[in-house]
């Protein structure tokens, strides 16, 4: 039994590190497998102004580095590698790593997160953090009295557009069809907001600018023609994909691949397996809510093991 871990955490965003901090402090000697992008989505943002505890803006990568250091200091073993396969059904679970080793563990916390979908256009990488974002809650504040656009037609696009009207002077909602997928109540709010301008049947075909994004080229599908729109910011809201491929067929998920947990709990359909953060949350998707769920998962693991 010597090498069987009490708890293994998969993923290194705010949920994973918080689960690690709490379980280390409960003397469970956690192992955390950090994955391909240690620190998760926050490592690709810049200023963070909504994480409590910091008077002045902090940098996303810095925040994740601090969480990692804190997790390590309190006793987490951090493995900078990737999980290639899992077997979570039995009481002793197996987690296979890409160096060929296998972790055996009594409990597992899945905090592999989710990733915003991007359009896949040329220059997209270059403008991320320079006028291009996939999170209005994170970056909207920087567009006070500026002209911005939101791409998408679902609930996220509607909510992001409405949120942005608090700061921006104009918000273009650009959708590839002539009908939104967003709930009726959100559609009504959009229509009744004078800052929102709809651009229907349209796709973005190019991002244009030197250092920062300055304009976008639009392709109007109905007219089969292009136009240019000068803007200060573009928010892509075409959905997220949870990182749950590894767990398919083993854990209950919803139709979009998010892990299902029991009400007011991080317990999954498998005994001893917990899920925290964006991998199970398609509504809030904030660092602070993910961290909160990581804490819940660690406390539930502690209770389960005792
Ligand atoms: P979504 O509902 O899948 O909507 C994605 C939108 O992006 C759709 O309008 C889609 O267009 C468009 N789109 C997809 N790929 C595109 C592309 N390559 N180019 C241009 N447009 C593209 O995603 P979501 O809005 O992120 O919502 C995800 C889930 O979370 C949904 O179940 C949603 O209800 C839920 N959610 C709930 C709340 C809430 O309850 N308050 C808030 C946010 C999200 P088409 O319409 O043409 O397919």
Q: Is 135 a catalytic residue?
A: yes
- Backbone dihedral region for residue 27 (phi beyond 0: left; psi -120 to 50: alpha; all else: beta): left
Q: Nearest residue CA, atom 29 of ligand 1?
A: 282
Per-residue pLDDT of the chain (306 residues; tens, 9 = 90+): 569 999 999 999 999 999 999 999 999 999 999 998 899 888 866 678 889 999 998 988 999 999 999 999 999 999 999 999 999 999 999 999 999 999 999 999 999 999 889 999 999 999 998 999 998 888 899 999 999 999 999 988 998 999 999 999 999 999 999 999 999 999 999 999 999 999 999 999 999 999 999 999 999 999 999 999 999 999 999 988 999 999 999 999 999 999 999 999 999 999 999 999 999 999 898 999 999 999 999 999 999 999
Q: Nearest residue CA, atom 43 of ligand 1?
A: 156
Pocket test for ligand 1, best of 119, 150, 152 (most atoms within 8 A of CB): 152
CB 272 within 8 A of CB 108: yes
Pocket test for ligand 1, best of 137, 151, 156 (most atoms within 8 A of CB): 156
Among 126, 44, 122, 34, CA closest to 71: 34
> Looking at residue 42, what is its pLDDT?
85
Long-range contacts of 50-57 (CB under 8 A, 24+ apart): 50/137, 50/138, 50/286, 50/288, 51/287, 51/288, 52/288
Q: Is 138 a catalytic residue?
A: yes
**Rounded distance from Cα 153 to ligand 1 centre (Å):** 6
Q: Is 241 a catalytic residue?
A: no
Among 120, 129, 112, CA closest to 275: 112
CB 207 within 8 A of CB 216: yes
Ligand 1 touching residue 152 (CB < 6 A):
yes
Q: What is d(CA 72, CA 68) in angstroms, rounded to the nearest whole number?
A: 6
Q: Which entry of 90, 99, 138, 278 is annotated as an active-site residue? A: 138
Q: Which SS3 state, helix, strand or coil, does residue 283 take?
A: coil
Q: How far is CA 16 from the centre of its chain?
A: 13
- The ligand 1 atom at the shortest distance from the C-alpha of residue 239 is 26
């Amino acid at each position: 039994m010597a090498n069987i871990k009490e708890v293994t955490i998969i993923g290194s965003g705010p949920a994973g590190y918080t689960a690690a901090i709490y379980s280390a402090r409960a003397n469970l000697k956690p192992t955390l497998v950090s994955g391909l992008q240690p620190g998760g989505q926050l490592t690709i943002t810049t200023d963070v102004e909504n994480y409590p505890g910091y008077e002045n803006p902090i940098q996303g990568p810095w925040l994740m580095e601090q969480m990692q250091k804190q997790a390590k200091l309190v006793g987490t073993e951090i493995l900078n590698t990737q999980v290639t396969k899992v077997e979570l059904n039995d009481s002793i679970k197996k987690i296979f790593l890409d160096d060929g080793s296998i972790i055996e563990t009594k409990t597992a916390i899945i905090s592999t997160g989710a990733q915003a979908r991007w359009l896949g256009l040329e220059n997209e990488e270059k403008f991320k953090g320079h006028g291009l974002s996939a999170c209005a809650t994170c970056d909207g504040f920087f567009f006070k009295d500026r002209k911005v656009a939101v791409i998408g037609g679902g609930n996220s696009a509607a909510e992001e557009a409405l949120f942005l009207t608090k700061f921006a002077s104009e918000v273009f909602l650009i959708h590839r069809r002539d009908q939104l997928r967003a709930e009726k109540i959100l559609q009504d709010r959009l229509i009744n907001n004078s800052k929102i301008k709809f651009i229907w049947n349209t796709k973005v075909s190019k991002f244009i600018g030197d250092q920062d994004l300055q304009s976008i080229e639009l392709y109007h599908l109905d007219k089969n023609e292009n136009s240019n729109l000068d803007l200060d910011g573009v928010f892509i809201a075409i959905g997220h994909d949870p990182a749950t491929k590894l767990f398919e067929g083993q854990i209950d998920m919803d139709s979009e691949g998010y892990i299902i947990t029991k009400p007011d709990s991080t317990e999954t359909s498998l005994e001893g397996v917990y899920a925290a953060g964006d991998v199970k949350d398609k509504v809030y998707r904030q660092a602070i809510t993910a961290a909160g769920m990581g804490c819940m998962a660690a406390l539930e693991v502690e209770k389960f093991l005792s």
